[in-house]
A = this chain, B = another copy of it.
Amino acid sequence: MVVTIKDIAEKVGVSVTTISRVLNNRGYLSDNLKKKVQEAMEELNYQPNEVARSLSRKKSNVFGLIIPDISHPFFGQITKHIEYYAYKNGYKLMLCNSLLNKKKEKEYIELLRASQVDGIIMGSHTMKVEEYMAIKLPLVTLDRRISDTIPYVSSDNYRGGALATKLLLRKRCKKIAYLSGSLQLNLLAKQRHDAFMDQVRGQQIEYVVRQTDLNGFKYREYEPMVRELFQEHPDIDGVFASSDLLALQIIRESRRLGKLIPEELKVVGYDGIQIGGAEDLTTIEQPMQEMGKLAVSRLLQQIGGEETPLETVLPVKLLERGTT
């Protein structure tokens, strides 16, 4: 015999509507009522268990979002979309900036757990793999693959790196620089570098690879690296910067040096942040809206007990504008 909510309603002695409200956690519900419904469901062996499980678990309808720094335009834009889709699905968003500080990140995870958030979206990671595995909450990472079991959402970094490098080659650059943040951080963004290397190797072209030692996201901190690069290699005629912020710093420095863009120097950025439009910056656009939407949806799938794909890799787009 299949048990329906009508059977539960009869057993508890309330209406079907009330049972439905309990199952969907809608409107005011006394603890006593919830307990009775749960007991009846258990007694009658009502399926699906998911609903029963979510009943016994206190739902907060809150997601935690841990990112390095909300003032970085990439994270600002993606957070906007995450908040939008979370809200659309009845969830609020707890914002946590880790500032890439291990201690703060760890404390935040503990705080989020204590607040009984229903899941966490991680766009920052500084701890050991085991520590993430131990979170035991629905978890989705952004642009980083931490383990074989934690689902992640990213865009196609390898293809983005290849598109950017190929463009510079097609534009007949003779000496190309690849600039990025730390390649040590175990980010998927590292694939942009791999793609760059695969494109330039074996070609009649010179290349330079530079990375900041800094984990920081402070715009100003890129300045010395960029200055030094042009001092050592004044003949660079193409730059692939792995973020638009870094690309803007390149543009600034070349303006200072009187280098004409794109005539003497071609610049490709990465991310597609809104502000890049001000400089007419050629860039690889990450689908931030889709990434935010899918991060939320992967979390909802886990919360709902659905199977969740490990990888969600979205396509990127080359925006050819004035700097190439």
Q: List A residues at the B interface (Cβ < 8 Å).
A: 62, 65, 69-73, 75-77, 79-80, 83-84, 87, 92-97, 104, 108, 111-112, 115, 218-220, 245, 248-249, 251-252, 274-275, 277-280
Contact = CB atoms under 8 A, between A and B. Distances in A.
B274 A219 contact: yes
A47 to B, nearest CB: 31
Contacts of A115: 62, 92
Contact of A93 (B73, B94, B275, B279): B94
Nearest to A91: B111
Among A95, A97, A245, A248, residue most surrounded by chain B Cβ atoms (within 10 Å): A95
A119 to B, nearest CB: 15
B71 A219 contact: no
A73 B76 contact: yes
A72 B79 CA distance: 11
Contacts of A218: 274
Contacts of A248: 275, 278
A16 B277 CA distance: 62
Contacts of A111: 92
Contacts of A278: 219, 248-249, 251-252, 279
A132 B237 CA distance: 57
Contacts of A280: 252
Given A94-B92, A94-B95, A70 B73 contact: no
A299 to B, nearest CB: 16
A104 B112 CA distance: 25
Given A79-B95, A96-B92, A111-B92, A275 B73 contact: yes
Contacts of A75: 76
